[in-house]
Structure 1
Amino acid sequence: MDNLLNVSAPALLKKPRLHRLKRLLQSLAAALERARTRRLLGQLNDQQLSDLGISHADRINELDKPFWR
């Protein structure tokens, strides 16, 4: 019976590591997506910004943010 408990213990230790790795990868993917959309925002002209209801100042504020925020 002790062997059964010892076998399951390593499996329990791996789950938190996988959860942390998954959260890290999700955070990285979100940061890359924010960087991509900000790059696209920087390429829009004044007419396109106006169509979206985004002011020039709003665009500058968004582009000044670091990719992780």
Structure 2
Amino acid sequence: MTFHSNTPALRAAFPGLSLRFADMLAVWHQRRALRYLDDAALRDIGLTREAALREAERAFWDLPRRLHC
């Protein structure tokens, strides 16, 4: 799954927010949103309903590997 970071906006809204926590919060919001996409939207992003639900169930601290740097 592709990660789209909202970190700059989050850090602007909450200046004391750490970068890692901001990434975790952004991932949590994105994963939560996957639950509510309809089948057409999931097809557009190349996910099945099952894959979207699996991703949505992942813990917020389980960040994509490229964010661990």
TM-score normalised by the chain length of structure 1: 0.60
How much identity, in percent, do the aligned residues show? 30
**Pairwise CA distance, 1:32:** 0.1
Larger radius of gyration: 1
- When the two chains are superposed, the root-mean-square deviation of aligned CA atoms in Å is 1.4
- Structure 2 gap segments, 5+ residues each: 1-16, 63-69
How far apart are the structure 1 equivalents of 2:43 and 2:21? 31
Distance 2:33 2:56 in 1: 10
**Residue 54 (1) aligns with residue 44 (2):** no
Consecutive unaligned residues in structure 1, runs of 5 or more: 1-23
Alignment of 1:6-17 (within 5 A): none
Partners of 2:31 and 2:20 lie apart in 1 by: 17
List structure 1 segments (4+ residues) > 4 angstroms apart after TM superposition.
none
Return the structure number with greater relative CO, CA threshold 8 A, min gap 6: 1
1:44 matched to 2:37: yes
Instruction: Give the distance between the partners of 1:50 and 1:61, measured in 2 at CA.
Output: 16
Number of positions where the alignment pairs a residue of Structure 1 with one of Structure 2? 46
TM-score, normalised via structure 2 length:
0.60
